[in-house]
Structure 1
Amino acid sequence: MVTSRPSSPPSVPSGDVAGGRTDLAQRGTDADAFASGRVDPLVGRSLTALVADATRRTPDATAVVDLADRAAQGAVTLTYLDLERRAEALAASLRAVGVGPEVTVGVCLPRSAAQVVALLGVLRAGGAFVPLDVSWPARRISAVADEARISAVVAGTAGAPPELSAGAGFVPLLRLDPAGRLATAGTSARPVPGDAPSSLADPSSAGDPHAAGDSYSTVDMENLAYVIYTSGSTGTPKGVMIRHQAICNRLHWQVDLLGLTGDDTVLHKAPLSIDISINEVFLPLVAGARIVIAPPGAETDPGTLLAIVHAHAVTFCYVGPATLGAMLERPDAEEAGRSLRHVWCGGEVLRDEAYRRFRERWRARLYHGYGPAEATIGVSCRVFDPDQATARVSIGRPNPNTQIRVLDADYNPVPLGAAGELFISGLPLARGYLNDPRRTADQFVPDPFSSVPGSRMYATGDLGRFRTDGEIEFLGRADNQVKFRGFRVELEEIENVLCGQPGIRHAAVVVVPGEAGDGEAGDDELRAYCVRAGTGGPPNLRAVLAGQLPAHMVPDTFVDVAELPLTAAGKIDRRALAAPAPPPQPPQEQQPPQEQQPQPTTIPAGGGTR
């Protein structure tokens, strides 16, 4: 178990393993047999150039279909040429206010056609986009914008502009209408003037996007493409810096792996603050395929997602295991998913039982991917062909130009089959955290296994192990280990045992505050939430688990739920499960008694928006 991390790895790792001291050279030989993915050539064109290539091939093909419910405008559809022209109009205005390589621009738009235009426009200007999620509190938007030192903001035409701190000064603000046309410009952090400043470029002067020439060719492959902020343990978000080289190589590999073409349709449902959204937007654009944009809120509604897949003949989508399970539970899942050719699943552990149910319903090829934002979305994947009825699920092997090692707390390789922390190195690695050298040094540590000076590896905080066949089993987060009644407990271990019981489809275990009565705090309790297959499953789960787990790991309470609550990223919302239930309301005269809801809010089985 990884409990602490030295300030820097030793130059020559050494250590003990079970059964006695093991020679480092032999240990390294065993690990290196599986640690590296194949070596692919470096892609030589920037992200913007790759999209421009697709536009040249099929300028009149549909690039974007925005399904947001807009009573006035209706759905928005853009061809590749429409998309490039509107992105170039925005880029011209951004260049006029100084945007170029290594300059950050905030994008504060809901998931929409305008958001896609904004991302591409920032890149065409040579800059790096920084997602400012419209669902964030104003203070977080301001904090991220300040930390990223953004030089401009792109927002929508509806509502007030994002408020930046007074220290940010006058940051240029450019507004796009729902179809991605440049509408007005001004400055954020202060009321927006009615007239656009004269220094901003006239959108009509943008002309043919290809005649802007080589506006994007001045971008070096080592320049930043985007900075995406993730939660930090200190409460301060961390800005992960991703280079054009890293994201372009990933997309090129993925297009080839999937065989994606202009005949494919890709679902975009993730919030922009989650890195998989970058893949959902740019993978189809690089391949010349079509993006179908789910309306805001649909990401937590399995019924709506299935309806979109069915209505628009979606061929490829990303889903988390919890969302996938909820989609497969629906009675219309088999028919609704007939168009799917590829389903990419990641973010949490995919269990063997979930794979079996997937294979019963859909003939699509399933990909189980793994990777943190600090390593350009993904670093490994396992491909399951449609003729595999059952499979022992893993996260596969390292992707091209990627190394993954399983190390102990002293940076020693652990034996095959033993658990340790996953460390990532190679091409996908982020440059680090923007304007945060201390946390960069903490997480991106020197790589003692590389002969290249200055090489680093990223300490993921995730636990895993190499199987003897070279595939990696993901074992959960090191920080999901909790201290409970004096014992250290791995919550995932309890969940794995629960999901191994017949009739148990999903399970989540959380620690919740206990009550001693009269509103007084009591001892914490271990609570298990279970989704059963109909009325299946053991009637007395406590007795079953008592026969397989130590007493301190047997949950105090078992709660049956129709579905587990999901976050916007499609993961199990453990905070919602652990939240205390609201106190019961006293009955009122001439009012029927209210039905108590002792369970946390869950997504209705029939679907519903958040």
Structure 2
Amino acid sequence: INEAEFAKFKSVQNSYPTTTPERGDLLNQLAYCIYTSGSTGNPKGVLNHHAGLYNRLVWMKEYLKVDEKEVFLQKTPYTFDVSVWELILPFLTGSSLVIAKPEGHKDVVYLQDIISKKQVSIVHFVPSMLGVFLLDADGEKCKSLAHIVCSGEELPALMAQECKEKFANAQLHNLYGPTEAAIDVTAINLSEIDVLKEGVSIGKPIANTSIYIVNHSLELQPFGVPGELLISGIQVARGYLNLPELTQDRFIADPFREGYQVYRTGDIAQWKSDGSIHYMGRIDNQVKIRGNRIELGEVENAIMAYGGIQQAVATPKEVNGEKVLVAYYLLERGTEIDKAAIRTYLQGKLPEYMVPGFYVVLENLPMTSSGKVDRKALPGIGGDDLIRREYKAPGNPTEEKLATIWQDILGIEQVGITDNFFELGGTSFQLIKLQKMIELLWPDKMVISDLFEFNSIKDIAVFINRDSGETDLEEKDEMKFFEI
């Protein structure tokens, strides 16, 4: 204790009241204000009350059957609401609490060591960090783990399966909930579920919580029909600090129960036949590229389904003044994957407009302080992120002119005659520009539909010169259609 402060206290000690203060209605008083950027990126202070927090803590105590023998690892930064239960729940249960060093949640070796040394039994991971942890985690070192709790992001099925296999003695739980509803509002134990067959749901509502899935008119959706997820019950927060208009928009009267309010999450979900909930992404996680709406989560799931990929993030980027879709991904240890093979695989799984044009392999994904993927910090893209074939230089005047046109339209320094226009990030709009340039140099030679079929410089040159005999390139089988 600071001696000066202690002396100051002693001098006024007798002036403090000696009677116990009136406690009042503590449950309905505010417990904390914690900021969340949410999907907008603008920080909002969420006002959570004691009743909601108490419900969440008591529910988890019963759900995990926590007693004084458990050892919690507190590693989440206090700016993220998971830290609230990590810090407080051990005091309700008489359990042990181990506090990780600052930034320790990002250090896999440190986490393994502290789990082993302190015999940690309950730990939380945001899926992004779980993916990093699984790359080097040793199941033997972490055999004290009894419960692995995930929340904060969508948990991929392949990651969940790998976690279950690596930590066979631990139960894997997937929780869901926004900061605006006291941390978590649904949960599921995935330990006995075939996640590769059934997928990873976000489970069922926790105690004293109701979940509605509604359409745009706030009418309940049937089983299997997607809609917006609404949260009702004791955990719904008071609203946002000093943001009355946003509070009025997101916190509304419960359409189905008098005296309650609901929080509109902006999340898309649907009821499964077993009564659990399938999370489908954010309403505002849909991006619009070239007039097409794209659900980024659907693209990421498709990439993850390709073997050898540990984690994937799809996001739009600006290239040459045009918005394009970029795939960032981590490979499993000792794995090498051809970018062209990933693209070919995705073309069989997704509509063409949802297939990323650029593929960036990373050693690590940038993380926010809360352990989520920091999309804003993802690196820019360049020529190395394109799908290129072995370089072959132009062999005749037509190919040389086409190469110059491609380089100008695509913003690329060097193009080979066997490179694929779309694999180089070309879009349908850029294809229209290409067709117009070809029309100026070689009138009446190609229409736009031809370029969807012949999309390398070599093939286009053969098509253009099919009557002139200028090129000595080997004729494709498809060209026989044009013989007269």
Q: What is the TM-score with the length of structure 1 in the denominator?
A: 0.58
Distance 2:83 2:155 in 1: 20
Q: By how many angstroms is 1:226 displaced?
A: 1.0
The structure-2 alpha-carbon separation of the partners of 1:376 and 1:546, relative to structure 1 and needing over 3 Å to count, comes to same
Contact 1:228 1:241 in 2 (8 A): yes
Contact 1:527 1:555 in 2 (8 A): yes
1:489 maps to: 294
Letter in 2 for 1:503: G
Give the secondary-structure state (helix, strand or coil) at the position aligned to 1:334.
coil
1:255 matches 2:50: no
Richer in helix (by share): 2
1:511 maps to: 316
The structure-2 alpha-carbon separation of the partners of 1:387 and 1:548, relative to structure 1 and needing over 3 Å to count, comes to closer
Distance 2:26 2:172 in 1: 35
Q: By how many angstroms is 1:251 displaced?
A: 0.8
Q: How does 1:59-74 map to 2 (within 5 A)?
A: none
2:335 maps to: 535
Distance 1:387 1:445 in 2: 35
Distance 1:508 1:267 in 2: 28
Q: By how many angstroms is 1:240 displaced?
A: 1.3
Work out which of the residue numbers 59, 62, 82 in structure 2 matches 1:276.
82
Give the secondary-structure state (helix, strand or coil) at the position aligned to 2:218.
coil
Letter in 2 for 1:532: L
RMSD (Å) for aligned C-alpha atoms: 2.8
Q: By how many angstroms is 1:313 displaced?
A: 1.0
Q: By how many angstroms is 1:381 displaced?
A: 0.3
Work out which of the residue numbers 201, 226, 238 in structure 2 matches 1:431.
238
Contact 2:318 2:324 in 1 (8 A): yes
1:420 maps to: 227
Give the secondary-structure state (helix, strand or coil) at the position aligned to 1:381.
strand
Q: By how many angstroms is 1:562 displaced?
A: 2.8
Give the secondary-structure state (helix, strand or coil) at the position aligned to 1:564.
coil
Letter in 2 for 1:553: M
The structure-2 alpha-carbon separation of the partners of 1:235 and 1:251, relative to structure 1 and needing over 3 Å to count, comes to closer
Distance 2:2 2:227 in 1: 51
Distance 2:246 2:224 in 1: 31
Q: By how many angstroms is 1:555 displaced?
A: 0.8
Distance 1:300 1:414 in 2: 40
1:350 maps to: 155
Number of equivalenced pairs:
378
Q: By how many angstroms is 1:435 displaced?
A: 3.3
Contact 1:299 1:568 in 2 (8 A): no
Q: By how many angstroms is 1:551 displaced?
A: 1.5
The structure-2 alpha-carbon separation of the partners of 1:559 and 1:435, relative to structure 1 and needing over 3 Å to count, comes to closer
Q: By how many angstroms is 1:221 displaced?
A: 1.2
Distance 2:20 2:349 in 1: 64
Distance 1:446 1:389 in 2: 36
The structure-2 alpha-carbon separation of the partners of 1:216 and 1:529, relative to structure 1 and needing over 3 Å to count, comes to farther
Contact 2:174 2:188 in 1 (8 A): yes
Contact 1:359 1:386 in 2 (8 A): no
Contact 2:73 2:122 in 1 (8 A): yes
Distance 2:268 2:359 in 1: 27
Distance 2:229 2:338 in 1: 35
Structure 1: give runs of 5+ residues left out of the alignment.
Answer: 1-180, 186-194, 207-211, 516-521, 582-610
Give the secondary-structure state (helix, strand or coil) at the position aligned to 2:201.
coil
Distance 1:443 1:200 in 2: 50
The structure-2 alpha-carbon separation of the partners of 1:313 and 1:183, relative to structure 1 and needing over 3 Å to count, comes to farther
Distance 2:179 2:295 in 1: 24
Give the secondary-structure state (helix, strand or coil) at the position aligned to 1:360.
helix
Q: For residues 252-304 of structure 1, what are the alpha-carbon distances to aligned partners after superposition, in whole Å with 9 as ceiling and x for unaligned?
A: 11111112122211111111111111111001111111111111112222332
Q: By how many angstroms is 1:358 displaced?
A: 0.7
Distance 1:230 1:380 in 2: 19
Work out which of the residue numbers 160, 163, 176 in structure 2 matches 1:370.
176
1:8 maps to: none
Give the secondary-structure state (helix, strand or coil) at the position aligned to 1:558.
strand
Give the secondary-structure state (helix, strand or coil) at the position aligned to 2:27.
coil
1:449 maps to: 256
Letter in 2 for 1:571: K
Q: For residues 148-171 of structure 1, what are the alpha-carbon distances to aligned partners after superposition, in whole Å with 9 as ceiling and x for unaligned?
A: xxxxxxxxxxxxxxxxxxxxxxxx
Q: Percent identity?
A: 37
Letter in 2 for 1:347: G
1:572 matches 2:373: yes
- For CA contacts below 8 A with separation 6 or more, give which structure has more relative contact order: 1
Work out which of the residue numbers 323, 326, 332 in structure 2 matches 1:524.
323
1:227 maps to: 33
Contact 2:79 2:370 in 1 (8 A): no
The structure-2 alpha-carbon separation of the partners of 1:484 and 1:436, relative to structure 1 and needing over 3 Å to count, comes to same
Q: By how many angstroms is 1:368 displaced?
A: 0.3
Contact 2:151 2:175 in 1 (8 A): yes
Distance 1:360 1:541 in 2: 26
Q: By how many angstroms is 1:462 displaced?
A: 1.1
Q: What is the TM-score with the length of structure 2 in the denominator?
A: 0.72
Structure 2: give runs of 5+ residues left out of the alignment.
Answer: 383-484
2:208 maps to: 401
Letter in 1 for 2:349: Q
Work out which of the residue numbers 547, 551, 564 in structure 1 matches 2:348.
547
Letter in 2 for 1:462: D
Letter in 2 for 1:382: I
